[in-house]
Each structure stands twice: as C-alpha cells, then as structure tokens.
A = this chain, B = another copy of it.
Amino acid sequence: MDDRIRAHAETLVDWSARVEPGDEVVMRVAEGAHDLAVAVAAELGARGATLLATYGSDEVQRAYLRAYDGDFAPAEAERALYDRADVYLSLGGGRNTTATADVPGETQSAYARAREDAREARFATDWVSTVHPTRSLAQAAGMSYEAYRDFVYDAVLRDWEALAAEMGQLKEVLDDGREVHLVNEGTDLTLDIGGRTAVNSAASVTYDSHNLPSGEVFTAPAGAEGEVTFDVPITVKGRRLRDAHLVFEDGSVVDFAAVEGGDALADLLDTDEGATRLGELGVGMNRGITRPTDTVLFDEKMAGTVHLALGRAYDACLPAGESGNESAIHTDLITRMDEGSRLVVDGETIQRDGLFRWEDGFAG
C-alpha cells in the first residue's frame, strides 16, 4: 500500500475527526475508495473505535432512485444509526463522476427532502468528508492518475497545525472587520461583514471544519456592492461556467454574464430569492493545491484564490439566533488573486498580488 494512503487515513482519524477510544464510527465507502477504507479501518481498530462501513455506491443509488415511484419514506433506521454514532467519515472517490446523470433532478430533490432527519443526525456527529484519488476523479480533473494522486496527497498531507495558526491570523482580521474590499481584474466589490464570525477551516472538527483537505477562512457577508469576475471555471449541474461576471446592488445580483454557461448561471440565480445573494466569502490558503481540478472540495481551498458563494450562509458565521441568507443552493464561484489584486479589510491591505501581509515579498 502507498504510504500516503496510510498517512491520509491517520490524518483523517487523528487530526480531522479526533477519534477517541470507544467512539462509534460510521464510515461511508465510495465505489473507488476501498484502499483508503482499509487504511482507515486499521487506524480505527488501533484506537479502539467501533466501525460500521456503509457502501456509498452511485450506481446502487441510481438504480434505486430510477426504480422508485411515489413518495419517499423517511429513513428511520438510518437515522437511528446516526443518532447513536459519534463520528461519520465519508470516503469519496467513485468510478464515474456522472454515474447519476440520468436520475431526474426532482427525484434527487424529493429523496433528499425525505431524508432530512437522517441527514441532520449525520451532521450532528463529528463528520468529515474526504476523497480517495480514483481514475474517474483524475479524468474529471484532466490529469493522469499518477499526477492526480500526487495532487490529492499534496493537498491532504499538510502541516495542518502550522496552517491552522497561519489561518488564525486572517480569521482574527475578519472577525474584527466590518468591510471587505476586493479588487482584481474585472472585480471591485465591497462586502459588509460586521458582526459575523469567520471559520478557520483547518480540516478538523475542532475548528468546525469538516473537509479533508480544507485550508480556507470563510465568513458570511451581509451586504455586497459592486462587480466581481470569477476566472476559475467550474461545472454547475453538468454545465461549464467560465468567467462569470456579477454586478451587485444592495446585496443582490442585478446583472450577470459569462463567457460560457450564461444559461447555467441564469438557472442558478433563478433558484430562489436567496440565490441572488451571497452566503459566503472564502479565502483559499492551502498551498498544496496549485491548480483547479473542477472539484469544489479542492478548488475553493487553492492558495491565492478567493471565492464567493451564491445562496445559503453557514450558521457558524452568524451571531447566535440570527439567520443569514437562506437558499436551496450554495454554489462557490472562484477568482484567482493574481498580480494587481487586493484584499482590503477596513482600509488595511491584508493581501496584495496574492501574498498575505505576513508572507515574504508582501508589498504593503
């Protein structure tokens, strides 16, 4: 076994999920994640946790959903499982990223709605999502399998303690800040973040961070004025979106365009009222991620990028009892902070030309 698979498993169990002896662990294994599952099982065994492995097969799911006719029943048994579980580890990594492309969207939504209780119970555990590199994901990224594996492990096997400390500096600035000013090519945007709390997303439940890899600091902006261009391409529901450009007035999108995928963007904005407002401002800080791979789990954490999400805000960023932007979607759009870019908080430049003020070469 590749030593990096073992290191990935150890990072997941120790740093990310903080598994303790006696913890009851449910581990979801995607079709292509077998090798990582074996490595994680060894880590869980060594820590004296219990283990139930579930099979997260897109093909099983597709067959089930396509055959279903009628209303979905709630999944009480599955909910009972998660109610008792302490930790949920999702090992992604399928064999075909478009395996469920022929399941109608309404079916998928209806299924998701019926299972809301089970999902909430799962999110109440110390849950962590990660992916095992597969040929299918390499293909989606336009990379060879070997190169993609290197890419994934560079992103996952970081010095998370050190990165958490670095990200803590940005969190402090954002927590204290009232106004963010984002300047880049095609971008001049002002965001109101007063009273919001930033999450230091250091790939560990201890930091309210549930992705491995992670490596971003994010908060929930309340208002937005100006324009922004997203030059990192993404796929939205199977459609390519390139160089999306949004104009905000009073917090809402009032104009938009895209070099490719303008119709996909229109559909997205049309979802509901909240889809035209921002739910998240995130700053990518993972230097192990050096290129986009059309997977948001990685792309949004890429060092030297900033992302904004249309749609739902996360509770962790909001004052207790206050609800932020609400929407059925949360879609991250990403811009590279290259030469000429600036991230300014309350008049103070925090990042210029993609370099933070605490980095060598920063030109204040």
Which residues in A have some Cβ–Cβ distance to B below 8 Å? 22, 24, 26, 29, 31, 34, 37-39, 41-46, 48, 50-57, 59-61, 63-70, 72-78, 80-85
Contact = CB atoms under 8 A, between A and B. Distances in A.
B81 A78 contact: yes
A80 B69 contact: no
Given A42-B64, A84-B77, A85-B77, A54 B53 contact: yes
10 contacts: A29-B55, A29-B57, A37-B55, A38-B57, A38-B59, A46-B67, A50-B78, A54-B55, A77-B85, A80-B81
Given A48-B73, A78-B81, 12 more contacts: A34-B60, A38-B57, A38-B60, A39-B63, A41-B63, A43-B67, A45-B67, A48-B69, A50-B74, A52-B54, A52-B77, A55-B55
Contact of A24 (B44, B63, B75): B75
Contacts of A26: 77
A64 B81 contact: no
Contacts of A76: 24, 50, 84
Contacts of A34: 31, 57, 59-60
Q: How often does this chain occur in the complex, in copies?
A: 2
B46 A69 contact: yes
Nearest to A79: B84
A66 to B, nearest CB: 7
Given A54-B53, A57-B53, A81-B78, A64 B48 contact: no
Kindly list the 10 A-B residue pairs having the minimum CB-CB distance in the complex, ordered from nearest: A45-B67, A77-B84, A53-B55, A81-B81, A41-B64, A45-B64, A45-B68, A42-B63, A55-B55, A24-B77
A3 B77 CA distance: 31
A345 to B, nearest CB: 44
Contacts of A29: 55, 57, 60
Contacts of A60: 29, 34, 37-38, 41, 51, 53
Given A26-B77, A50-B78, A77-B84, A66 B42 contact: yes
A64 B47 CA distance: 10
A81 B72 CA distance: 19
Contacts of A63: 38-39, 41-42, 45
Contacts of A67: 41-46
Contacts of A54: 52-55
A114 to B, nearest CB: 9
B73 A81 contact: no
Nearest to A91: B55
A113 to B, nearest CB: 14
Nearest to A78: B52
Contact of A83 (B39, B80, B82): B80
A57 B77 contact: no
Contacts of A80: 80-81, 83-84
Nearest to A86: B77
A22 B61 CA distance: 17
A48 B77 contact: no
Contacts of A61: 41
Nearest to A25: B77
Contacts of A48: 68-70, 73
Contacts of A38: 57, 59-60, 63
Contacts of A53: 54-57, 60
A101 to B, nearest CB: 16
Nearest to A47: B67
